[in-house]
Amino acid sequence: MGFCENAQIQMIAHNSAFICKVCDSKIIISEGLARNVIVGQCPQPAEGDMAEQEDIKRLSELTVGQTGRVHDFLEENDTCARLEEMGLTPGEQIEIIRFAPLGDPVEIKVRGYMLSLRREEAELILVNIAA
């Protein structure tokens, strides 16, 4: 698990840190560490390369009224499994309805109903932003 010579790296998102897919793992690295990674052009597009061209952000970074589709989760844990059980599955349309005064929780619309998420839950969800 991690970066190694000749590994294919797919950029998933970049905000204050880089979120990369390496083999079957998702890795988050700081900009400082990312400067030490030397990459070259892949001879053929990696599987899922179209996602690289999409605007992908964490759900917690969206603004009120913004819509998108669930892309993936940053982790595979009990919290993410529970979120999937609540209807947040890849490809599902979501809309940001409102944030509480201090930004936590966030209310979203998914599958026709309103759902409130804690900020730490919203940070685990990657969303393709609607154009």
CB 114 within 8 A of CB 85: no
Q: How many CB atoms lie within 10 A of CB 39?
A: 12
Q: Say if residue 94's pLDDT is above 90.
A: yes
Model-level pTM greater than 0.75? no
Question: 15 vs 19, 79, 87, 88, 112, CA distance in Å?
Answer: 8, 23, 26, 22, 30
Per-residue pLDDT reduced to its tens digit, 28-87? 777 777 777 777 666 555 555 444 446 888 888 899 999 999 888 887 788 888 888 888
Q: What is the pLDDT of residue 51?
A: 44
Topology of 56-129 in CATH? Answer: SH3 type barrels. (2.30.30)
Count helices and strands in the chain by DSSP H and E runs: 4, 9
Q: 16 by DSSP, 3-state: which?
A: coil
Q: What is the pLDDT of residue 66?
A: 92
Question: 96 vs 61, 70, 87, 122, CA distance in Å?
Answer: 10, 12, 15, 11
Alpha helices in 46-103 (DSSP H): 50-53, 78-85
- What's the rounded Cα separation, in Å, for the pair 68 and 122? 13
Provide the β-strand partners of residue 72.
126
Per-residue pLDDT reduced to its tens digit, 80-93? 888 888 888 888 99
Domain segments of the chain as ranges: 9-51, 56-129
Provide the β-strand partners of residue 116.
107
CB 88 within 8 A of CB 74: no
